[in-house]
Structure 1
């Protein structure tokens, strides 16, 4: 029996999803779906597929139809997981341990994803989600699951498509249970940076903090690099003559991380920070800073907590770096040479400039200048 469901896409255009199901004794034997721009095309496809299935008797589900969503997630991660970042892969591994992943992929319907969202919202608060799971996190859940199902549809030949998630997304967005992440505009104030500067330098100089967070903080502010990228800067990759440096192993990319090395422009203020790092940690080979990105995040959060600084993430220093360059008059192409964003749409999330420029605490004012280990 065929059905047609009309739905609007992100551009507001109406699309028609045609679905054909074959049931025997109350059990689904086969299900196929396809989306069209016109209802008449959807009706014609249903008529043709029902005729073909009746003529051939090919109603059995393909091999692998017993695959659970948990197994499907594992298949997806094994096949393409290396193309994406740690956060997405970790989220998918977490989803593989949730109740929705116990279901067979071919049995999934929009209601299952709606129930998943309600189940997630009902879970006790955790350290990572002290306010409960938010609409943006739930939206990411469904985006990732939709990618998995699209992959399994084509790689395993399973008769289920991403529209089974899209229909749930439409209903959940209308109910405001899921939403895209809001643009974060948090930047450290001059007073917060002044306090962090003094605290981190004193902790490093006294030997009570082995991770050189004072150096890491200023390198992030003056380069705009992410914390895990700061751990992959080879000393031999700094070219002062051309004002550029090398990031080993590539950078994060929405289209999938490319592992090849890339070059970025280092603003003038960044060279003063690099010179100080080389003076405090002499050597010509190896990495500029021998740090663990996870330790950087932990030490940063601990420092903010000790100083009573609320809701300031290490990643906010990337916002600070690029916003400072925007305030200094750099053009979009010049900003992209520093940040390595491929498009302005991605870059503008990081450039947060108020109408009135406030006080800025500069590296040249740091308590650590002129003081060496």
Structure 2
């Protein structure tokens, strides 16, 4: 039980808050009784704060060492995790992880906002450090994750870019003449499967079933295995390159996939006269093509691998024709 003691000295009165946690006695002194009462209320209501003041691991494990342990076992798909946690290493260095409280972390995230980073980017920084503290909590059986107590920044919905039929034709023609001979295949697969960039790039020939026209995605964003039906044009293109290892291998390291093909992608867009288009917009284009040809939102979600329809609703306005046909059939 926490208590407040009044102490008198040559410099006047001070107020000491004492409490026990995990067999350790902790005390903290304040010049004003009001501050002592506020601290007492905080540790009474905030179990995480009380633990951070008494737990051995939280007081001895440095942030830098925690990041090292976390990255040694990390097998996720975020290539930016090292950069984001590296930023926080420069900030917190050898600070014990228990000393990183909600207010401390929030102040650092606010600095990122002040530096001009978008709300979405700041949220990604928060997510990375939240994952770190989740690892610490599981690894050392403690409860301390200041990131969970910080509200997400509101992200703008942004625009959803679809390529027109004419733009798709021009882009594929430009890709066919690219210096990288597999850019056409990659873009064609993106337009006809709706798969994400990394999902396609990490495909191996072991994942491709040409006879049944299927590709198996093992490493998806939500962790679920997903099957991609392949069109005959994709299958014919795949047969041209059939080999072993990655379908899209690195030019100089066949044991790795070709991560950075952006120079070829930019060159193809330029020759096709297409502006303001990201590779991810090919995924939107695949969904829009499905919607305009009568696919329901549930069917689109199934193709894209969405767990809920919330993400798929951005294509709902393209399904109007299918809805009209459905209404006429049922009620007409």
- TM-score when scaled to structure 1? 0.61
1:276 pairs, out of 229, 237, 240, with 237
Cα 1:245–1:252 change in 2 (3 A) is closer
Q: Report which structure shows greater RCO (CA 8 Å, sep ≥6).
A: 1
Name the Cα RMSD after superposition: 3.9
Aligned length: 279
Cα 1:46–1:263 change in 2 (3 A) is closer
Structure 1 residue 147: deviation in Å?
Answer: 3.0
- In 1, the alpha carbon distance for the partners of 2:67 and 2:236 equals 46
**Aligned match of 2:209:** 238
Structure 1 residue 240: deviation in Å?
Answer: 4.3
Question: Larger Rg: 1 or 2?
Answer: 2
**Aligned match of 1:109:** 101
Please tell me whether the aligned partners of residues 226 and 315 of structure 1 are also in contact (alpha carbons under 8 angstroms).
yes
Structure 1 residue 326: deviation in Å?
Answer: 2.3
SS of 1:264's equivalent?
Answer: strand
Structure 1 residue 136: deviation in Å?
Answer: 0.9
SS of 1:311's equivalent?
Answer: coil
Q: Deviations along 1:150-182, whole A, 9 cap, x unmatched?
A: 332342355x622x3344x24xx6xxxx32463
Unaligned runs of 5+ in 1: 3-19, 27-42, 54-58, 124-131, 204-208, 358-373
Unaligned runs of 5+ in 2: 4-20, 31-40, 251-256, 322-332
Cα 1:195–1:244 change in 2 (3 A) is closer
Q: Does 1:98 align with 2:90?
A: yes
* Counterpart mapping for 1:1-373 below 5 A: 22-24=26-28, 46=44, 60-63=54-57, 65-79=59-73, 81-82=74-75, 84-87=76-79, 89-123=81-115, 132-157=116-141, 161-162=144-145, 164-167=146-149, 169-170=150-151, 178-180=153-155, 182=157, 184-203=159-178, 209-231=179-201, 232-234=203-205, 237-241=208-212, 243-247=213-217, 250-254=218-222, 257=223, 262=225, 264-266=227-229, 270-278=231-239, 280-281=240-241, 283=242, 288-290=247-249, 292-304=257-269, 309-346=274-311, 348=312, 351=315, 353-354=317-318
Cα 1:133–1:327 change in 2 (3 A) is same
Cα 1:289–1:271 change in 2 (3 A) is farther
Q: Deviations along 1:19-47, whole A, 9 cap, x unmatched?
A: x8943467xxxxxxxxxxxxxxxx8x949
Greater fraction helix: 2
Please tell me whether the aligned partners of residues 322 and 350 of structure 1 are also in contact (alpha carbons under 8 angstroms).
no
SS of 1:295's equivalent?
Answer: coil
- TM-score when scaled to structure 2? 0.67
Please tell me whether the aligned partners of residues 91 and 141 of structure 1 are also in contact (alpha carbons under 8 angstroms).
no
- In 2, the alpha carbon distance for the partners of 1:155 and 1:94 equals 21
